Every structure is written in C-alpha cells, then in structure tokens.
Amino acid sequence: MNVQVRGAKSAEGAQRLGVIDCDIHPVMRSPGDLKKYLSPKWHDHLDTYGSFHRQPFVQGDIYPRAAPYLSRRDAMPPNGGPPGSDLEFMRAQLLDLHNIEVGVLQVLGGGTHQRNIDYGAAICSAINNWQVAEWISHDERLRGSISITQEYPEAAVAEIRKHGPDKRFVQIGMNQRSLEPAGRRRYWPIYEAAVEFDLSLGIHTGGYNGHAPVPGGGWPSYYAEQHHLINVCQQNVLSSMVMEGVFEQFPTLRVVLVEGGFTWAPALTWRLDKLWKKLRSEVPRLTRPPSDYIRQHIWFTTQPVDDMGSPERLREICDLVGWDRLCFSSDYPHWDFDDPRYAFTFRLSESEKLAIFNRNARQAYNLQ
Amino acid sequence: MTTTKHVVATIEEVPPGQHKKVHVKGRDIALFNLNGEFYALGDKCPHEAGSLCTGKVVGLAISKEPGDYQLVRPGEFVKCPWHGWEFDIRTGQSYCDPQKTRVRMYESHVENGDELAKGPYVAETFKVSVDQQYVVIEL
C-alpha cells in the first residue's frame, strides 16, 4: 500500500493498495464552457439575466475564502485555467501521485441552488453531460456524481433516470443546505430514484438556501466560524433524515456525508438515542434507535480530519464511529485538502487502512 | 556526523524578500532571504507536507482589542500553500503551535568565493568564482 502514516518507519514489505478518494472537485476551464453543454434555449437567459443563488451577493461568495479559488496555492495548472480544471495536471498531482484507484467527482455550485429552478435543472443537465464528455470518459479511475436540483425533484428524478443506468455515475450529488431539512417528504422522490438505480446519495458540505448557515443567531461573521458550521449542518441533515423516517421508507438507501467531519457523530448518536427513548411516540415510524439507522445507512468521508489533540483520541473516535463507516477523501484541489499519507496522525493497522482507504467506499458506492 | 558545505545559490539569485527551493543530500530545502539574511528551512510542512516554497510570504495579523487590526513583522513568515500554517522564517516555529509544529532549520551562511574555492565543498550546479558571494548550507 502506498499510504504510509506519519511515523511509519519503512515502506518495505508494505502492500500496494489503490486509494479510493471520495471527494474530488473538477471545475470548468472558464465559465463560458458551460454553454457548450447548456441547451441553446438557455444561452440567452444566461446572457441576459445571469445566475442567481439564494445568497446575498450576486458575485462572489458570502464568506471570504482562505485562498484563491478556494484552492491549494500549488494547484494552479501550468497550462492555465483554475485549479481542478486540467485532467492531465490532476493526474500528476493527485491520481498518479497517490495511487488513486477510484476518484469520485463532486461538482459544486452550478444548478443545484439556482433561484430559477428551470434554469437550475438545465445547468445540472449540462454539468452531467460535461462530466461524461470531459472527465469520466477520459480516465477510467474517475466516477461521476449526478448533479441535481434538489428543490425541483421532478427534474432531479428525470436527470437520475437519464444517467442512472450509466454505471460510471456512482451517486446523486446533493448539497447539505436545502430549503427544508433533508428528511422532508418533498425530497423523497430523489431518494426513491437513488434506490431504484442503486446510487448512493452524496450530501456535500455547502450550498445556498438563503438561510443563515445554521439557524439560531443569524449570519456568522467569519469564514473561520462558518467553516466549522458545515459540521453542524451535516448533523441537521442526518437528524432530519433519521427522524422523518427516511430509512424506514427506503431500507436500502446509502448516504455518504461528504466533507462534514465525523468526530461529532458519536455525540449526536448518543443524544438522538436518548431522545428517542423518551419521545419515541412522537415519531412512531422509527422502529429502532437512531444509532441503528446511522450505523446501517451512513458513511462519513474523512477530510478534514479533526485535530484531536492526541493521536490516541482520534483512534478512540474512529472506534466509536465504526471502522466500516469512514471513507477517505482528499477534497482536491481545495485548500483544506488531506494527503492520504498524513491525514491520520496515528498508525493504522493494515486492515484499518484497507477499510478507510478502499473497502468502505466500495460498500458505500457499491463499486464492483 | 561530519557535515559538508553545499553551495546552493549566489546571493544575487535570491534577493531580499525572495526564496528558492534547493536540493541538498536528497532533501528539499526552502532558502529565504530575509532583509539580507539567509535562512534554510525544510521545504516540507510538518503538518501534511505541503511545499513551503510555493507558499506566500506574509506578516502577522494581530489585534490588541476588538476592532483593532495590525499587520506586524511583514515578510517574516511563510504560510503553507495548503492549510495556511504560518512559520517564522527565522526559527521554523509555527505561530499556533511553536513547540510541536516546527520546520527543521539548516545551518546556512554566506561565503566569499575566494575563501570557498579552497574547499572542500559541493557545488553540483555552480562554478564557484573568486569574486562572487555564495549561500552555503552545511549538512
């Protein structure tokens, strides 16, 4: 295996095992590239009205980012274009360097949260065709995520039906910030389609739903503050899906929570189980404690691995979350990228490495 | 262990405020010129091994009270291109965790070509000339 954690004395005798990276961000070389894939009827709309998300600013993001393009400063492709736009450079800097066997693409932004949902659906469709034409057809290690407009489930389902049979797509890409909590029934047609096509649901950090990142006090002041709240949002996503009975309705649904941390999961599970024992009659659809659903249906990607103060403490948290629930992710090319060699600060056993860097993701995405 | 002198740059090559990645005994080293003084730091960030040579040279933002912002010690820190850890170029210590998270420092100094020419030294990519000044790393 080419993954060596810090402190490993020698690579001698180590098995070489391919890494599955569950979070790679490809981007278009220029915003104009969208038009090549966008239905011509929307070109005029784009030129005349532009794109609008449910966020305060027309251009730029709500929070200042730590680095240009949100990316590692060494990720600018030498041949031009923004980080993540050049497959050749991505091969050199990520896929080949880290022996990535399977890399799951997570396309951010785009159509998911357009205020005009018809236009949003058109952008999602364009992004999916772009993934086929420029990424997954050019490197067999790469897998796509079906981009959808989660606030327009009919269009989302149509897009899932279109690309679901293509096994190079391994999941449906959703953002954690939806208009309503993720477990609400308005989103169930999407979950039904996920089950029908045996696709996992990849719920990635971020998104624009017009609400403050976490309700309860309005808008945070700083990026350093907001960047932590993505974990809290994932907790809300997870609690809603469990309490609304999504996993009773769809007993084979697989959900991957992407880039939202995992060290919080044990505490959330303890709290939900305690509440369920006392308030079960309010949610009688649940036949089992919340922890049961979470252990069965949820996988967590690892980046960014929290600094637990001591390596032993991180190991304890992994024990509690479950070694079969954690899937390595790099978040390439973003600035808070995790390098598979250094992401874990304690020495993993061979079986733990196999689980985190390969086997768990195979199960989460049902990869053959 | 005996050390060897490695000639890694002419002083003109790395003017004040600039830096250069050099290779000594198989190691990548980031050579910084801070106001005419040279410092050699291991290029690998001790956190997750980002290359410090591709990082930005910065000052420290500090605040003494709410609403107060100051940028002090400009040019004295390098910020890792990945996760933004700030390292003091003079000591290799990180600002947030100076004792535990620090970059290895290497002994470096400037020598005149006429002194250096007496040897012994290693200068694979240089011809040492007597009327030049060079940055030397001892390793």
Please report, for the domain that includes residue B87, its CATH number. Answer: 2.102.10.10
Mean pLDDT, rounded, for B119-133: 79
Q: Residue B29: helix, strand or coil by DSSP?
A: strand
Domain total of chain B:
1
CB of B94 closer than 8 Å to CB of B70: no
Mean pLDDT, rounded, for A165-170: 98
Contacts B82 to A, Cβ<8 Å = 72-74, 335-337
Q: Which of B47, B49, B54 lies closest to A73 in CB terms?
A: B54
pLDDT in tens, B48-68: 999 999 999 999 999 999 999
Contacts A67 to B, Cβ<8 Å = 81, 84
C-alpha angle A147/A149/A152, rounded to 5°?
145
Residue B123 has pLDDT above 90, yes or no: no
Per the CB < 8 Å rule, is A343 touching B48? yes
Report how far residue B38's alpha carbon sits from residue A60's, in angstroms, rounded to the nearest whole number: 39
Closest CA to A164 of A120, A204, A199, A139: A199
Contacts B51 to A, Cβ<8 Å = 74
Q: In what order do the strands lie in the sheet with B86-88?
A: B56-62, B70-79, B86-88
Report how far residue A318's alpha carbon sits from residue A303's, in angstroms, rounded to the nearest whole number: 13
Tell me whether A67 touches chain B (CB under 8 Å).
Answer: yes
Q: Phi, psi at residue A170, to the nearest 5°? A: -110, -10
Residue B118 has pLDDT above 70, yes or no: yes
Q: Which of A73, A341, A343 lies closest to B56 in CB terms?
A: A73
pLDDT classification of A276: cutoffs 50, 70, 90: very high
Report how far residue A127's alpha carbon sits from residue A111's, in angstroms, rounded to the nearest whole number: 8
Contacts A341 to B, Cβ<8 Å = 49
B interface residues, A as partner, C-beta within 8 Å: 47-51, 54-56, 81-84
pTM: 0.92
Please give the single-letter amino acid code of residue A272. L
Q: At a CB cut-off of 8 Å and minimum separation 6, what does A55 contact?
A: A61, A62, A208, A210
Range of the domain at B25: 5-138
Task: Provide the β-strand partners of residue B111.
Answer: B134
Contacts A335 to B, Cβ<8 Å = 82-84
Report how far residue A98's alpha carbon sits from residue A94's, in angstroms, rounded to the nearest whole number: 6
pLDDT classification of A3: cutoffs 50, 70, 90: low
Pair of tokens at residue B86: 């700030």
Per the CB < 8 Å rule, is B82 touching A66? no
pLDDT in tens, A153-167: 999 999 999 999 999
Cis peptide before A26 (omega within 30 of 0): no
Report how far residue A177's alpha carbon sits from residue A209's, in angstroms, rounded to the nearest whole number: 6
Q: How far is A46 from chain B (nearest CA, A)?
A: 34
Q: How far is A95 from chain B (nearest CA, A)?
A: 17
Report how far residue A340's alpha carbon sits from residue A100's, in angstroms, rounded to the nearest whole number: 10
Per the CB < 8 Å rule, is A66 touching B51? no
CATH number of A21-364: 3.20.20.140
Q: Phi, psi at residue A121, to the nearest 5°? A: -65, -40
Q: What pLDDT score does B31 carry?
A: 96
Closest CA to A324 of A349, A358, A288: A358
Q: Dmax over Cα atoms in chain B, in whole Å?
A: 59
State the burial class of residue A13 (Cβ atoms within 10 Å of its Cβ: 0-12, 13-18, 19+): exposed
Q: Residue A203: helix, strand or coil by DSSP?
A: strand
Task: Provide the β-strand partners of residue A114.
Answer: A53
Per the CB < 8 Å rule, is A66 touching B84? yes
Per the CB < 8 Å rule, is A73 touching B55? yes
Q: At a CB cut-off of 8 Å and minimum separation 6, what does A350 contact?
A: A1, A15
Q: Residue A299: helix, strand or coil by DSSP?
A: strand
Q: How far is A278 from chain B (nearest CA, A)?
A: 43
Q: What pLDDT score does A10 carry?
A: 38
CB of B23 closer than 8 Å to CB of B29: yes
Report how far residue A91's alpha carbon sits from residue A140's, in angstroms, rounded to the nearest whole number: 12
pLDDT in tens, A328-344: 999 999 999 999 999 99
pLDDT in tens, A204-237: 998 888 888 876 788 888 999 888 899 999 999 9
**What is the overall mean pLDDT for chain A?**
92
Q: What pLDDT score does A51 carry?
A: 85
| ipTM of this predicted structure | 0.84
State the burial class of residue A30 (Cβ atoms within 10 Å of its Cβ: 0-12, 13-18, 19+): exposed
How many other CB atoms are found less than 10 A from the CB of residue B73?
13
Report how far residue A326's alpha carbon sits from residue A22's, in angstroms, rounded to the nearest whole number: 10
Report how far residue B137's alpha carbon sits from residue B46's, in angstroms, rounded to the nearest whole number: 21
Mutate to test the interface with B, among A69, A73, A223 (most CBs of B within 10 A): A73
Report how far residue A14's alpha carbon sits from residue A20's, in angstroms, rounded to the nearest whole number: 18
Mutate to test the interface with B, among A4, A72, A336 (most CBs of B within 10 A): A72
CA A38 to chain centre: 24
Pair of tokens at residue A327: 């899937």
pLDDT classification of A14: cutoffs 50, 70, 90: very low
Contacts B61 to A, Cβ<8 Å = none
Count CA atoms within 13 Å of residue B88 on its CB side.
14
Among residues of chain A, what percentage have pLDDT more than 70? Answer: 96
Contacts A74 to B, Cβ<8 Å = 50-51, 54, 81-82
Pair of tokens at residue A340: 């598979």
B-chain residue closest to A6, CA distance? B48
Full DSSP string of B105-123: EEEEEEEEHHHHTTS--B-
pLDDT in tens, A88-110: 999 999 999 999 999 999 999 77
Mean pLDDT, rounded, for A15-22: 87
Per the CB < 8 Å rule, is A72 touching B84? no
Residue A4 has pLDDT above 80, yes or no: no
Q: How far is B25 from chain A (nearest CA, A)?
A: 19
Per the CB < 8 Å rule, is B50 touching A342? no
Residue A9 has pLDDT above 50, yes or no: no
Q: What pLDDT score does B117 carry?
A: 82
pLDDT classification of A7: cutoffs 50, 70, 90: very low
Q: Which of A73, A336, A339 lies closest to B49 in CB terms?
A: A339
Per the CB < 8 Å rule, is A337 touching B47? no
Pair of tokens at residue A344: 């874990």
Q: What pLDDT score does A34 carry?
A: 92
Q: What pLDDT score does A8 carry?
A: 42
**Torsion angle in degrees (nearest 10) through CA of A52, A55, A60, A65:** -150
Q: What pLDDT score does A215 carry?
A: 65
Pair of tokens at residue B28: 């990548």
Q: Residue A333: helix, strand or coil by DSSP?
A: coil
Q: At a CB cut-off of 8 Å and minimum separation 6, what does A2 contact?
A: A11, A14, A16, A17, A19, A98, A99
Residue A284 has pLDDT above 90, yes or no: yes
Q: What pLDDT score does B2 carry?
A: 80
Q: At a CB cut-off of 8 Å and minimum separation 6, what does B91 contact?
A: B98, B102, B105
Domain boundaries, chain A: 21-364
pLDDT classification of A309: cutoffs 50, 70, 90: confident
Please give the single-letter amino acid code of residue A112. T
Q: What pLDDT score does A285 carry?
A: 96
Mean pLDDT, rounded, for A138-163: 97
